[in-house]
C-alpha cells in the first residue's frame, strides 16, 4: 500500500496534483499539505508555505521507507527554484544515501544543473530536458507541461540555463496571472525587464512596485 502512495506522490512531483485515492490518513494529509505548500509558494505567501511544508514533513515521517519524505524535500527544492530562490536541495541530499532512488537523484540533478545520466527517469520533464540539452527550447516545450506547477519549474530551468526568451517570459506572466499566482507573476515580471528598455521598462517597473505593495 505504501507503493501506491509513492506512485501518487510522484505524480505530484512530476505533474503536480493527483486525485488518486490514498489508503492511510497520514498519506492523505501529507499530500494535502504538499499541494497547499506548492500553491502558497507560487502565490508568494512564504509564511503560509512554510507552515504547510512543516506539516507535510511531519506526516511524511510516518513512512519508514523515507521515500515520501524524499518527495517532500524534492518538491521543496523544486518550488524554491521555481521562485528563483537559491536552493541546494540540502534536505534531500542529507537522506538520499539511505534510500537510493535513481529517479529521485535524476530529478535533483536536473534542478541543480548537474549531470543526468538517464533522461528517461525525468518523467514529464524529459522532453524539455532534451530541448535544453540541445539548446533548442521553444514556448511549446513549456506549454506541453500540464500544470502551472510543472510550467513554473520547467520555465525556470530554461532561465537558469540561459535559454529564456521573451515569448516564454510573457507566457509565464500571463499564466501566473490567470492562475492567481501573484508571487510567480512577480518573478517573471522581474525577469521580463531584461528584454525591455525605455518607456516599456519604466512601465513594468511601476507595475512591479504597485503589485508588490
pLDDT > 90 in the chain, percent: 74
Q: What is the DSSP letter of 83?
A: T
pTM for this one? 0.86
Q: What is the DSSP letter of 135?
A: T
**CB contact at 8 A, 42 and 83:** yes
Mean pLDDT to the nearest integer, 24-45: 90
Give me the residue label for grid cell 506572466: 173
- Count CB neighbours of 150 within 10 A: 23
- Count CB neighbours of 115 within 10 A: 8
Give me the residue label for grid cell 534542478: 111
- Sorting pLDDT into bands at 50, 70 and 90, what band is 100? confident
How do residues 169-197 score in pLDDT, each as one tens digit?
999 999 999 999 999 999 999 999 998 88
* Alpha-carbon gap, residue 203 to 72, rounded angstroms: 39
In angstroms, how far is the first alpha carbon of the chain from the final one? Answer: 47
Mean pLDDT of the chain: 88
Domains: count for the chain: 1
* Alpha-carbon gap, residue 56 to 70, rounded angstroms: 11
Q: What residues make up the domain containing 74?
A: 2-212
Amino acid at each position: 500500500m505504501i507503493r501506491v502512495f509513492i506512485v501518487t506522490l510522484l505524480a505530484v512531483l512530476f505533474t503536480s496534483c493527483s486525485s488518486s485515492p490514498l489508503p492511510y490518513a497520514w498519506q492523505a494529509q501529507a499530500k494535502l499539505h504538499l499541494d497547499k505548500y506548492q500553491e502558497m509558494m507560487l502565490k508568494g505567501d512564504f509564511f503560509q508555505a512554510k507552515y504547510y511544508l512543516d506539516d507535510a514533513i511531519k506526516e511524511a515521517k510516518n513512512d519508514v521507507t523515507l521515500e515520501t519524505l524524499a518527495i517532500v524535500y524534492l518538491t521543496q527544492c523544486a518550488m524554491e527554484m521555481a521562485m528563483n530562490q537559491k536552493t541546494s536541495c540540502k534536505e534531500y541530499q542529507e537522506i538520499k544515501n539511505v534510500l537510493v532512488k535513481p529517479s529521485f537523484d535524476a530529478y535533483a540533478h536536473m534542478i541543480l544543473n548537474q549531470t543526468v545520466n538517464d533522461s528517461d527517469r525525468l518523467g514529464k520533464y524529459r522532453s524539455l530536458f532534451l530541448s535544453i540539452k540541445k539548446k533548442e527550447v521553444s514556448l511549446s516545450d513549456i506549454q506541453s507541461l500540464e500544470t502551472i506547477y510543472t510550467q513554473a519549474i520547467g520555465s525556470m530551468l530554461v532561465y537558469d540555463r540561459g535559454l529564456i526568451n521573451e515569448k516564454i517570459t510573457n507566457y509565464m506572466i500571463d499564466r501566473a496571472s490567470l492562475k492567481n499566482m501573484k508571487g510567480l507573476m512577480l518573478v517573471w515580471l522581474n525577469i521580463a525587464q531584461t528584454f525591455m528598455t525605455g518607456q516599456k521598462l519604466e512601465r513594468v517597473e511601476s507595475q512591479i512596485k504597485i503589485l508588490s505593495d
